[in-house]
A = this chain, B = another copy of it.
Amino acid sequence: QGTRDHPPAQAALRERLLSAVVSCFKRHGAAAIDTPALELRETLIGKYGEGTKLIYELQDQGGELLALRYDLTVPFARYLAMNKITNMKRYHVAKVYRRDNPATTRGRYREFYQCDFDIAGQFDPMIPDAECLKIVHEILSDLQLGDFVIKVNHRQILNGVFAICGVPESKFITACSTLDKLDKVPWEEVRSEMVGEKGLSPEAADRIGEYVQLHGGLELIERLLQDPKLSQNKLAKEGLGDVKLLFEYLTLFGITGKISFDLSLARGLDYYTGVIFEAVLLQQEKEHVEEPVSVGSVAGGGRYDGLVGMFDPKGRKVPCVGVSIGIERIFSILEQRLEASGEKLRTTETQVLVATPQKHLLAARLKLISELWGAGIKAEMLYKKDPKLLKQLQYCENTGIPLAAIVGEQELADGVVKLRDIATREEVRM
């Protein structure tokens, strides 16, 4: 349940998509790493907030207690700490596992690919953070997914908002995970969960509501820096300073047109400590709707300066920022689009079919195809001793093989091969 096989057409589309994402990561100078799909259970516990209950655990068959990785970020942090690496730019494309309620039509699965790019190291503020946003912008533009917006917020600003609204510090994380639902449900519902389940006072919730419904650009940042209460809060002020600097760099990258500073963005994971962001695709409704409708998040990430330290015996921190591309949703969109277009993706790369027009010529086919493979040519033949020529040519048409190399008795006698262009039916002897 919640997993799927990828038949060849899907696998080919996925390969195309992943290769677009990976080339962007490589364009930004990232190295690949790979980590096991299995992690020690203790590595994963307590890193994902309410997600922890979705972790797949392995049966205790003796030895270590294991679990399947939930994301690629925690394994990356564990890897850095274990190897005492303090400086690294890496990408990782791999499957992760979550015992979530699958919603497969919206591209939500229990086993799914993540494509992560992260920058670890002590650097000047906001330069790596800006590059992560640039990467999201490049990938979503390259894939031509239509209009999108990248929402940006900062954990310290949120914490500052909670603080000045009277939320005790012990409830910051849980308040964040409630707030995280604001992109799916209206504020009234979020407010009632904050008051009901999370035990915030109604007044605190109302004060939070005034802030978290704000979104805008540089002018909003400037306005909040002047906000009498928020500007008095050290965390919020630092966060606003970061976001202001970030916008400066994003302006130099020329991508602020797609960036929205959005105070409702919270991100559910415990480990974020600074800038957080999430990209959503916008879909123009057909009639009378002024604001574009969001069709869901396709990328997200943020800064997590404390995570590596949790795996280091001495608690040494390595600041990190990263982005994860939500490949499954993008894949669903591309799949629907391909289906609508009627275009048929080839699932193999075969260049030529080796064919014979008469019986008793299997040996000739085997010899010729062996020669072609030896020359690096992608070649197939039918696995029949005496296939009909029509069948062989139909196989080319069905699978998109552009050429047939035909050896008949006459060709054998003349020491030639007849090369046929399947589409034009032109033939040359060579």
Contact = CB atoms under 8 A, between A and B. Distances in A.
A34 interface: yes
Given A252-B367, A363-B252, A380 B31 contact: no
B59 A57 contact: yes
B58 A56 contact: yes
B1 A383 contact: no
A51 interface: no
B56 A26 contact: no
Contacts of A68: 58
Q: Which of A30, A58, A383 has the most CB of B within 10 A?
A: A383
Nearest to A128: B383
A108 to B, nearest CB: 15
A344 interface: no
Given A11-B33, A26-B378, A384-B123, A38 B249 contact: no
A28 B373 contact: yes
A407 B379 CA distance: 50
Contact of A36 (B3, B27, B31, B348): B3
B253 A384 contact: no
A252 B367 CA distance: 6
A131 B380 CA distance: 10
User: How many copies make up the complex?
Assistant: 2
Nearest to A76: B5
Contacts of A83: 5, 7
Given A27-B377, A64-B1, A95 B11 contact: no
A254 interface: yes
Contacts of A36: 3-5, 111
Interface residues of A, number: 77
Nearest to A382: B123
B27 A378 contact: yes
A29 B380 contact: yes
A33 B8 contact: yes
A307 interface: no
Contacts of A131: 383
Nearest to A130: B366
Contact of A124 (B28, B367, B384): B384
Contact of A252 (B15, B366, B378): B366
Interface of A: 1, 3-8, 10-12, 14-15, 26-38, 56-61, 63-64, 66, 68, 79, 82-83, 89-90, 95, 97, 99, 110-111, 119, 121, 123-124, 127-128, 130-131, 134, 138, 249, 252-254, 347-350, 362-363, 366-367, 370, 373, 376-380, 383-385
Given A37-B111, A57-B59, A134-B370, 18 more contacts: A3-B36, A5-B33, A5-B82, A6-B35, A8-B33, A12-B31, A26-B378, A27-B379, A28-B373, A56-B61, A58-B59, A59-B59, A119-B383, A124-B385, A127-B362, A131-B383, A252-B366, A254-B370
